């Protein structure tokens, strides 16, 4: 996708969310959804919204649930075309990239290397409303993700992620994606990669996957980084060359994860 097309997608996503919000009649309810999902500003907690609107935390939760149910029904009945417009874009991306993925990665592919927090929030919001999509909520073990619903609900997707983590743990050392795919029962390496990317317990380096605590796939200190660089290069290197490798990799990582929350 060209840079122009990605810019257009970001604008389309924003305008689509604005159209979806118009389907909510009451201003207070629009405020709740906008703030809870962080659609135009930072995401807020139930307590923060309750304090702003002078209602209890529990009342905010009840209203949020009721509003989402109404929006889902309306979307399923075809009354909110904007949902299906963005749904098609997300489904197309996921179909080409393992059928599931981190919202961060989906947003990057759709709008470019530095998706804003709001862009990611909008993708997750549409995912919540679309009957063809399922959202994987973030917690201590999983990154926020989105998947094609016909391939399983959130529980099934998390189970698949857990299976991959257990397989790598049992293997006992980093493993490339092709070999990992051969150890599992999934349709393609891209699907294994997409599922693995949802786990906060895994990391990868050059498509070699391992536990996040393993320095060969997730080098944290300077010693780890030097070891990985020398192992990759396969020959002695001058310190200036090593320093340049570290700088280049750090810059690349910052570009990829900029804006992530």
The 3-state secondary structure of 56-75, one letter per residue: CHHHHHHHHHHHHHHHHHHH
Question: Do residues 231 and 238 lie in contact, with contact meaning Cβ atoms separated by under 8 Å?
Answer: no
Show the CA angle centred on residue 254, arms to residues 106 and 162, nearest 5°. Answer: 50
| pLDDT interval class at 163 (50, 70, 90) | very high
Instruction: Select, from the ranges 7-11, 117-121, 248-252, the one with the highest average predicted confidence (pLDDT).
Output: 117-121
| pLDDT interval class at 236 (50, 70, 90) | low
Please give the C-alpha separations between residue 74 and each of 24, 83, 84, 126, in angstroms, as whole numbers.
Answer: 11, 10, 11, 13
Question: Do residues 83 and 75 lie in contact, with contact meaning Cβ atoms separated by under 8 Å?
Answer: yes
Q: Dmax over Cα atoms in the chain, in whole Å?
A: 67
Question: How do beta strands 175-176 and 208-211 pair?
Answer: antiparallel
CB environment 157-193: b (16+ within 10 A), e (fewer): bbebbeebbebbeeeeebbebeebbeeeebeebbbbb
Q: At what angle do helices 154-171 and 189-196 cross, to 10 degrees?
A: 100
Please give the C-alpha separations between residue 47 and each of 24, 26, 56, 128, 190, in angstroms, as whole numbers.
Answer: 22, 20, 7, 22, 40
Residue 203, helix vs strand vs coil? strand
Average pLDDT estimate for 135-157:
97
12-49 tens-digit pLDDT = 999 999 999 999 999 999 999 999 999 998 899 999 99
Distance CA(36)–CA(62), nearest Å, equals: 12
pLDDT score recorded for residue 112: 87
Average pLDDT of the chain to the nearest whole number: 88
pLDDT score recorded for residue 235: 60
* Entry field: residues in the chain: 261
Please give the C-alpha separations between residue 38 and each of 42, 74, 119, 124, in angstroms, as whole numbers.
Answer: 5, 22, 9, 10
Taken in order 153, 256, 175, 227, is the CA torsion positive or negative?
A: negative
Token pair of 244 as six digits: 């340049």
Asked whether the predicted pLDDT for residue 227 surpasses 60, the reply is no
pLDDT score recorded for residue 215: 87
Average pLDDT estimate for 181-202:
96
Number of helices followed by number of strands (H, E) in the chain: 12, 6
pLDDT score recorded for residue 4: 72
90-114 tens-digit pLDDT = 999 999 999 999 999 999 999 988 8
* 141 vs 230, residue with greater confidence: 141
Distance CA(7)–CA(5), nearest Å, equals: 5
């Amino acid at each position: 996708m060209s840079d122009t097309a990605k810019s257009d997608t970001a604008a389309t996503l924003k305008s689509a969310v604005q159209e979806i919000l118009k389907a909510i009649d009451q201003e207070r309810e629009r405020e709740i959804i906008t703030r809870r999902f962080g659609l135009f500003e930072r995401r807020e907690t139930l307590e923060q919204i309750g304090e702003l609107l002078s209602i209890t935390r529990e009342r905010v939760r009840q209203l949020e649930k009721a509003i989402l149910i109404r929006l889902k029904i309306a979307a399923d009945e075809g009354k909110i075309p904007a949902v299906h417009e963005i749904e098609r874009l997300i489904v197309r991306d996921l179909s080409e990239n393992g059928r599931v993925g981190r919202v961060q990665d989906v947003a990057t592919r759709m709008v470019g290397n530095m998706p804003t927090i709001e862009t990611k929030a909008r993708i997750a919001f549409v995912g919540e409303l679309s009957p063809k999509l399922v959202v994987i909520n973030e917690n201590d073990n999983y990154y926020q993700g989105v998947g094609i619903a016909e391939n399983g609900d959130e529980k099934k997707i998390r189970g698949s992620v857990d299976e991959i983590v257990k397989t790598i743990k049992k293997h006992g050392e980093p493993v490339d994606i092709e070999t990992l795919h051969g150890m599992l029962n999934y349709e393609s390496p891209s699907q294994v990669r997409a599922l693995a990317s949802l786990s906060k317990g895994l990391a990868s380096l050059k498509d070699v996957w391992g536990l996040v605590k393993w320095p060969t796939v997730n080098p944290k200190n300077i010693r780890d980084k030097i070891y990985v660089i020398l192992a990759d290069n396969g020959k002695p290197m001058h310190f200036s060359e090593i320093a340049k490798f570290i700088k280049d990799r750090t810059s690349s990582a910052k570009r990829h994860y900029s804006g992530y929350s």
